[in-house]
Every structure is written in C-alpha cells, then in structure tokens.
C-alpha cells in the first residue's frame, strides 16, 4: 500500500504528533498580488480504498479548547461567489455532506476536488473547510496545518480567516505570542477585504486578541499596543481595552489592572470591568 503523505496524514481522525510548521508570513501590503503558486497534488489513494477502511471513533472536541465567542452567531468563512463547473459541484457536495454530519464523505469529496482540479480557485477554500472542521473537532494541530496551507495562496479573504483561526489554534496549543501575532495579522489582512464580512473579521480578530494579550503582554503597554493595532479595523482602542480589561480580571490580574487604570486617569474602559465582583 502506498504511504500516505501530506494531506492524507492530516485527514486522519487523530492529531498529528509532529509539531506544526511555522506560520507563513503575511505578504506585504500594497502592490499587485503575486500569481497563485502551482498546487502540488498530494498522493491520494483511490476513494474506494479509503471508503473501505473501518471508520475510527470520532473523538469529542478537547474540553479545554477555547473557541471564538461569536462562532455560532456569525459565519466569517469566505466564499467564492459565482463558481461553476465540476469543481464547484464537488465543493457544494462537500458542504452539503458537512451540514449532514458525514465528515468522511465530505473529506472524500474534497480529496476528489484536490486530485482532479488542482488549479481550481476553490483549492484554498478546501483547506479552509478542512481546517475549520478539524478546529471544531478540537484537533488543533491538524487544523493549524490546514490553515497554514491556505496561507500559501495570496487571497486576502482566505488569509485573514486562516490567520484568525490559526490564532485560536495556537492559543489552545499554548503558543501565545504566535497567537497574538496571528490575530493582529488577521485584522490587517481583513481590512483589505472591502466587504461587510471583511470588516466583521477585522473586528473579531482584534477583540479576540485580548484573550491572549493578557497571557503574554504587559498591561501597562496595552493602551499603546491597541492604539496601533486597531487602526483601520473599525474597532476603537477603548473597545479593545475594555475587552482586555475583562480578560485581565478573568486571569486574576485585577490589582495590576487597577494600577493601570489609576495611572491612565480611570478611563471609561476601566469602569465596567473593575466594577465586576
């Protein structure tokens, strides 16, 4: 039997044991976008062989895994509007199977798309779907590798979403500094997407960054940090700092927060969090 490499290794129901690769750097802002790199097709066994294997028991999501608070109320996943053809039909089938809860057949459809249509503009969306599904199942290392694969494509909407959830993956893996950088990069990339969804993703990325900022950052540096990080995102520094202050109290840093607020002259963003019992 042929060895399973690359993508098939990630499609197993258990997390990969190796450390995930380093996150791809965000392309510099401005200038024309580079042409999409050619897709290197993974080695894929015949779908019949995959289907004939015994289905492993699906593990529940890790109980300690943190997830975006608004994940259920807001779908920030980028879509490729107006896609037609056999690749689009496969992707639509995969999405339908996902909604039905048939993860195995969903993955088979996505594998078929990657195998038969390696140049499809839907390829980065395939990686997002696979990463999103792994993330929801609590498979953080698998999800992170899919999101990093999506980052090899220049699409700003794809990259922003991949970076946003990569931030959550890294936070759950204890890689807090990398998580904070991913959230900030996600917000920056999302500001280039001139849609309501792009603006919502920029906002979510900045606000979600507060949860990890209090794990790695000095609270007295937070006002300067968010004065810069919020530019162009639609989030005011006060909104981000209020979220940070709440997270600081939840992380048992109330006294440190109180000292900061006193130094800052008790700004409005301090009042609500400090009034909490």
Mean pLDDT by 10 residues, the chain (277 residues): 37 36 36 39 30 35 50 55 83 91 93 94 93 92 95 90 95 96 96 89 95 95 96 95 95 94 94 84
* 16, 40, 61, 137, 250 from 67: Cα distances, Å: 20, 31, 11, 11, 16
Query: Per the structure block, which two tokens stand in for 33?
Result: 């976008």
C-alpha span between 2 and 211 (Å, rounded): 44
- Calculate the CA dihedral of residues 123, 125, 127, 128 and round it to 10 degrees: 170
pLDDT given at position 58: 39
Q: Per residue in 45-87, pLDDT tens?
A: 233 222 333 333 333 334 345 656 444 335 666 666 667 889 9
Q: What angle do CA 266, 269, 275 make, to 5 degrees?
A: 75
Measured in degrees and rounded to the nearest 5, phi and psi for residue 275 equal -80, -10
What is residue 37's DSSP assignment?
P
> Do residues 146 and 128 make contact, with C-beta atoms less than 8 angstroms apart?
yes
pLDDT given at position 24: 36
C-alpha span between 70 and 228 (Å, rounded): 24
pLDDT given at position 197: 87
pLDDT given at position 61: 39
Measured in degrees and rounded to the nearest 5, phi and psi for residue 205 equal -65, -45
C-alpha span between 93 and 106 (Å, rounded): 8
pLDDT given at position 67: 59
pLDDT given at position 84: 80
Q: What is the pTM of this model?
A: 0.72
Report the candidate in 108, 78, 77 with the shortest Cα–Cα distance to residue 94.
Answer: 108
Cβ density class 32-66: b for 16+ within 10 Å, e for less: eeeeeeebeebebeeeeebeeeeeeeeeeeeeebe
Contacts of 35 (CB under 8 A, 6+ apart): none
Contacts of 153 (CB under 8 A, 6+ apart): 36, 37, 123, 124, 159
What is residue 220's DSSP assignment?
G
């Amino acid at each position: 039997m042929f060895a399973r490499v690359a993508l098939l290794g990630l499609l197993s129901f258990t997390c990969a044991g190796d450390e995930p690769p380093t996150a791809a750097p965000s392309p510099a802002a401005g200038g024309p976008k580079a042409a999409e790199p050619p897709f290197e097709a993974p080695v894929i066994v015949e779908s019949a062989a995959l289907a004939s294997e015994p289905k492993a028991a699906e593990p529940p999501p890790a109980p300690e895994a943190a997830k975006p608070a608004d994940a259920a109320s807001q779908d920030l996943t980028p879509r490729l509007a107006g896609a037609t053809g056999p690749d689009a039909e496969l992707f639509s089938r995969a999405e339908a199977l996902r909604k039905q809860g048939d993860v195995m057949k969903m993955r088979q459809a996505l594998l078929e798309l990657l195998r038969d249509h390696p140049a499809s503009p839907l390829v980065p969306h395939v990686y997002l779907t696979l990463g999103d599904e792994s993330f929801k199942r609590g498979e953080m290392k698998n999800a992170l590798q899919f999101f990093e694969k999506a980052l090899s494509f220049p699409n700003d909407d794809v990259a922003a979403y991949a970076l946003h959830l990569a931030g959550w993956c890294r936070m759950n893996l204890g890689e807090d500094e990398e998580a904070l950088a991913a959230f900030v990069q996600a917000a920056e990339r999302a500001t280039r997407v001139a849609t309501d969804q792009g603006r919502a993703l920029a906002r979510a990325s900045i606000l979600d960054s507060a949860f990890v900022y209090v794990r790695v950052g000095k609270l007295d540096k937070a006002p300067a940090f968010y004065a810069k990080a919020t530019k162009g995102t639609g989030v005011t520094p006060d909104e981000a700092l209020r979220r940070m202050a709440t997270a600081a109290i939840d992380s048992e840093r109330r006294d440190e927060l109180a000292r900061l607020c006193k130094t800052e002259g008790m700004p409005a963003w301090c009042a609500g969090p400090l009034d909490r019992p």
